[in-house]
Amino acid sequence: MRLANKVAVITGGGSGIGRATALLFAREGARITLVDRDETGAEETAAMIVAAGGEAMVRVSDVGEPGTADRDAAAVVERFGRIDVLFTAAGFSVGGTILTTSPEDWDRVFRANVGGTWLWARAVVPHMRQQGGGAIVTTASQFAIAGGAGNAAYIAAKGAILSLTRTMALDFAADRIRVNALAPGAIDTPMLRRSFGRAADPAAAEAKSVARHPLARLGRPEEIAEAALYLAGDAASFTTGTTLAVDGGWLAG
């Protein structure tokens, strides 16, 4: 198993990419902590892990709230003794241009995406330093590289995550902490479905998204989970500061 005896924290583990990754990491031997505002979803994911013979705990938290990551990371270490992997999958999107996005929504998007990534990395790095290393996998987007219309706050936040990932990789390389980003394409998750639902014609919005991918389909959460597993595991031991696009060919098209 590729994560045997590892302890992994997954934010946004109650659904979508976070859930798929938690299930895969557990199958690969990791003990899992799920962090999510959605208690019902997180508990459902934990129940799936336990039913399959794994071990999981749930922390119901807002990842962007200062202090919660420190508290929750301490709880993980108290139960499991260490933190080997952090995967920041929690995200939030509202849609809109800079003109139609309110200051309040702009702040909410940055708080969840950038703030949640920063605060959780800040909470786990001291533990990883003390134990001699670890792996952090962040979640950006193909939009952070290609750009896109009608989602200004989200795309700006994902661009910030890419820059934060690179600087963290340099800051903590000497501590044997690897930091890498994923750039998923359009992945069939509840958040994407909500995004389509904001359009005047959701079916047309979905068809347009599918057409942007040369592979001519939406991605599956399980496909992003496999990429996260690679970056989190020993197979990527010489990989840090990079962005792995799992985007159905979007960026090549």
List residues with catalytic annotation. 154
Give the 3-state secondary structure of residue 180. Answer: strand
> Which 8-state DSSP code applies to residue 18?
H
Element (H, E) at 117: helix 116-131
CB neighbour list of residue 186: distance below 8 Å, 6 or more residues apart = 192, 209, 210, 212, 213, 218, 219, 248, 250
Give Cα separations from 88 to 58, 213, 249 (angstroms). 15, 24, 23
CB neighbour list of residue 23: distance below 8 Å, 6 or more residues apart = 45, 48, 49, 52, 225
* Strand ranges for 21-118 from DSSP E: 31-36, 56-60, 85-88
Q: Partners of 181 in the beta sheet? A: 138, 243
Give Cα separations from 86 to 28, 38, 121, 176 (angstroms). 15, 19, 8, 14
Q: Which residues of 158-179 are buried (b: 16+ CB within 10 A; e: fewer)?
A: bbbbbebbbebbeebeeeebbb
